[in-house]
C-alpha cells in the first residue's frame, strides 16, 4: 500500500479538480437548456466521489518522501485513469457515442493530441464543444507540470538536462515546487486570456475565441468545426494563432523567469532559437513549393504554409488547408515534421527540439574524434554539461520511440488499414500531433471510421508519447514491482 498510496492521493486531487471543470459545461448546458446538464452533473458527482475516496485512502498511508518507483507510478496512473473519467460526460450526454469513441476523444484531448472521432462539430451543442476544449486545457496544465517537476527527476530521454529545484520531491524542496507550479498555472492562464482577447479583437466570436484559445495554448488543436481553422478566412486570425501556438511550445519555465526578471533575454534560449530557426526554414521552403504547385498569391501561400507547419511542429494539429493537395515534396516535409515537436517544458509533444540539437552535438563530436582521436572535447548544451548518461538516455528514448512506431504501425496494418494510414496514424499518436496523412486520418479526415482495436491501440500510443515512452516501459518491467 505504501507504494501506491502517493498515486492514490494524487489521483484523488486530480479527479476532484476534473470534477470542478465538469461543472463549467454543466452550468452552460443549464443556461442554454441543451439537455446535457444531467450528464455533466452526474459525471462530476461520480468523479468527485471516486477522487475523494482515493485521496482519503492515499492520505492515510502517505509517506514523507517520494521514491523514483512511486514517481513513475504516479505519472503513469494519472494519464491512464483520469481520461476515463474525462470520457464520462461524452458517454452520458446521449448522442450514442460508444465507450471506445468517448475514451479515444478524452485521451486525445488530455494528451493534447487533437485527433477526433466526432463528425458534424458545427451542429453539436456548445457544452460538449466546450468540454472538449477544457479537456485539452486541463491536460495541458498537467503536461507542463509533468515536464517541469517529474520527467527531469526520472531522467527520461535526456530530460535530466533540465532538472531544477522542482525536480527534487523531498520535503525540503516541496514548497519551491509548489511555488513554481503556481507560477506556471498563472502564466498558463494569462496566455490563454491574451489569446482569447486577441482572437476576439480580430473578429472571432466569443465562444470560438475561448475554445480556440484553450486549444491553442495547450497545443491541442480541437476546433468547433470539422473544417478546423479553415472556417476562419481572416488572415490576421491565422497569424494570431501562429504566434500563440509558438508561445505554447516555448518552455513555461521561461515565462516564470520573465515574471521574475522582467527581461526578454530569458527567451534567448538554445531550444527557443532552434525551434524558431526550424519553423522559419520550413515555412520559407513550403511557401515556395506551394506557390509553384498551386499558384497562390504570396500572402496567402505564406500564411497557410506558416500556419500549417507551425501547427504540425508544435503538435497543435490545426489545419487551415488540405496540405495533401500541395504536392509530394510538401507532404514529405509534413510527415518528417510530425516528429520534431516544440520545446521541453511546454505543452507540445514530439521528439522535442533539444533532442534534435543534442543529436547534432553528438554527431559533431563523433566527427571531431574521428579526425582527432586523442582530443578531449567539451560536450555542452545551453550552458550545461552533457554527461554520458544523458546521451545514453537520449539514445534509449529514440530507440524505444522507433520500436513503438514500428509495432503500432504493424498492429494497425493488421486491422486492414493501408500503409500510409497505419504509419502516419501511429506517428501522429506517438508524437501527439493530431492529423496524419492520407484520405482517412489526413487534415481533411478524422479517426471515426477506424476499428475499435485501432482506436485502443492509438489511445495507448498517445499516452506513451505523452509519457516519453520509457515511463510506461518501466512499469511493464518485472524489476519495478520487486521490493
pLDDT tens for 334-350 read: 999 999 999 988 899 89
* 293-321 average pLDDT score: 92
- Given pLDDT bands bounded at 50, 70 and 90, which one contains residue 289? very high
Instruction: Quickly count: other Cβ atoms within 10 Å of residue 96's Cβ.
Output: 6
pLDDT of residue 64: 66
pLDDT of residue 23: 96
Burial class (CB in 10 A: 0-12, 13-18, 19+), 26: buried
Give me the pLDDT at residue 113, please: 93
Q: From CA 67, how far away is CA 49, in angstroms rounded?
A: 28
User: Which of the 8 DSSP states describes residue 232?
Assistant: -
Rounded Cα distance, 19 and 468, in Å: 27
**Would you say 454 and 418 are in contact if contact means Cβ atoms under 8 Å apart?**
no
For residues 246 and 4, the model is more confident at: 246
Position 175 scores a pLDDT of 52
**Dist. CA 285–CA 306, nearest whole Å:** 10
Residue 261 has pLDDT above 80, yes or no: no
Grid cell, residue 280, equals: 522559419
Dist CA 313 CA 317 (whole Å): 9
What residues contact residue 267 under an 8 Å CB cut-off, 6+ apart? 250, 254, 258
* Mean pLDDT on 110-137: 92
Count of CB atoms situated within 10 Å of the CB of 173: 16
Between 258 and 138, residue with greater pLDDT: 138
Distance between CA 358 and CA 158 in Å, rounded?
Answer: 9
Joined together, the cell numbers standing for residue 414 give 493488421
* Backbone torsions φ then ψ of 384, nearest 5 degrees: -115, 145
Residue (of 142, 25, 21) closest to 76 by Cα position? 142
Mean pLDDT of 415-438: 92
The Cα diameter of the chain in Å comes to 76
Residue closest to 323 by CA, chosen among 441, 241, 437, 432: 437
- Give yes or no for residue 274 having a pLDDT over 80: yes
Other CB atoms within 10 Å distance of the CB of residue 141: 18
Q: Return the pLDDT at 342.
A: 92
For CA atoms 399, 403, 408, 410, give the dihedral sign: positive
- Of 82 and 262, the one with more pLDDT: 82
Digit-coded pLDDT (tens) for 82-100 = 999 999 999 988 677 889 9
For residue 166, pLDDT over 70 is answered with: no
Secondary structure (3-state) at 118: coil
Q: Which residue has the cell 513503438?
A: 404
| Residue pair 455/116 in contact by the 8 Å Cβ criterion | no
pTM given for the model: 0.91
Residue-level pLDDT at 41: 95
- Residue 281 — pLDDT band, cuts 50, 70, 90? very high
What's the average model confidence in pLDDT over 437-465?
91
Per-residue model confidence as pLDDT tens digits over 135-165 = 999 999 888 877 776 777 666 766 666 665 4
Instruction: Say what percent of the chain tops pLDDT 70.
Output: 92
Mean residue pLDDT of the chain comes to 87
Grid coordinates representing 433 are 500531433
Residue 377, phi then psi, degrees to nearest 5:
-110, 140
More confident site: 63 or 254: 254
Amino acid at each position: 500500500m505504501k507504494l501506491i498510496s502517493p498515486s492514490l492521493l494524487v489521483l484523488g486531487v486530480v479527479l476532484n479538480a476534473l470534477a470542478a471543470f465538469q461543472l463549467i459545461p454543466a452550468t452552460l448546458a443549464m443556461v442554454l437548456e441543451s439537455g446535457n446538464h444531467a450528464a455533466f452533473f452526474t459525471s462530476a458527482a461520480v468523479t468527485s466521489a471516486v477522487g475523494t475516496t482515493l485521496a482519503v485512502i492515499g492520505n492515510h498511508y502517505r509517506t514523507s518522501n517520494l521514491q523514483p518507483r512511486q514517481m513513475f507510478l504516479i505519472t503513469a496512473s494519472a494519464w491512464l485513469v483520469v481520461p476515463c473519467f474525462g470520457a464520462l460526460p461524452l458517454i452520458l450526454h446521449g448522442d450514442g457515442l460508444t465507450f471506445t469513441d468517448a475514451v479515444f476523444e478524452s485521451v486525445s484531448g488530455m494528451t493534447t493530441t487533437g485527433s477526433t472521432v466526432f463528425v458534424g462539430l458545427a451542429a453539436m451543442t456548445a457544452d460538449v464543444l466546450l468540454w472538449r476544449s477544457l479537456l485539452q486545457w486541463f491536460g495541458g496544465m498537467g503536461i507542463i507540470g509533468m515536464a517541469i517537476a517529474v520527467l527531469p527527476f526520472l531522467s527520461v530521454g535526456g530530460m535530466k538536462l533540465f532538472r531544477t529545484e522542482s525536480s527534487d520531491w523531498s520535503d525540503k524542496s516541496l514548497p519551491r515546487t509548489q511555488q513554481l507550479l503556481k507560477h506556471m498555472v498563472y502564466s498558463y492562464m494569462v496566455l490563454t486570456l491574451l489569446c482569447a482577447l486577441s482572437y476576439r479583437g480580430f473578429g472571432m466570436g466569443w465562444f470560438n475565441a475561448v475554445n480556440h484559445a484553450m486549444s491553442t495554448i495547450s497545443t491541442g488543436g480541437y476546433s468547433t468545426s470539422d473544417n478546423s481553422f479553415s472556417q476562419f478566412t481572416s488572415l490576421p486570425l491565422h497569424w494570431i494563432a501562429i504566434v500563440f501556438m509558438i508561445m505554447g511550445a516555448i518552455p513555461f519555465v521561461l515565462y516564470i523567469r520573465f515574471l521574475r526578471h522582467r527581461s526578454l533575454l530569458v527567451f534567448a534560449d538554445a531550444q527557443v532559437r532552434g525551434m524558431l530557426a526550424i519553423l522559419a526554414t520550413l515555412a520559407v521552403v513550403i511557401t515556395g513549393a506551394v506557390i509553384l504547385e498551386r499558384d497562390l498569391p504570396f500572402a496567402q501561400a505564406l500564411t497557410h504554409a506558416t500556419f500549417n507547419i507551425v501547427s504540425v511542429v508544435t503538435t497543435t494539429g490545426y489545419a487551415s488547408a488540405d496540405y495533401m493537395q500541395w504536392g509530394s515534396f510538401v507532404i514529405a516535409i509534413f510527415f518528417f515534421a510530425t516528429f520534431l515537436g516544440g520545446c521541453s517544458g511546454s505543452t507540445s509533444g514530439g521528439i522535442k527540439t533539444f533532442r534534435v540539437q543534442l543529436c547534432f552535438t553528438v554527431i559533431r563530436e563523433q566527427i571531431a574524434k574521428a579526425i582527432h582521436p586523442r582530443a578531449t572535447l567539451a560536450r555542452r548544451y545551453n550552458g550545461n554539461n552533457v554527461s554520458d548518461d544523458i546521451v545514453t538516455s537520449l539514445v534509449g528514448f529514440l530507440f524505444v520511440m522507433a520500436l513503438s512506431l514500428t509495432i503500432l504501425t504493424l498492429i494497425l496494418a493488421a486491422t486492414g488499414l493501408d500503409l500510409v494510414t497505419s504509419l502516419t496514424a501511429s506517428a501522429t499518436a506517438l508524437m501527439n500531433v493530431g492529423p496524419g496523412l492520407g484520405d482517412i486520418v489526413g487534415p481533411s479526415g478524422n479517426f471515426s471510421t477506424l476499428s475499435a482495436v485501432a482506436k485502443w491501440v492509438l489511445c495507448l500510443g498517445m499516452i506513451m508519447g505523452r509519457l516519453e515512452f520509457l515511463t510506461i516501459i518501466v512499469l511493464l518491467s518485472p524489476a519495478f514491482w520487486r521490493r
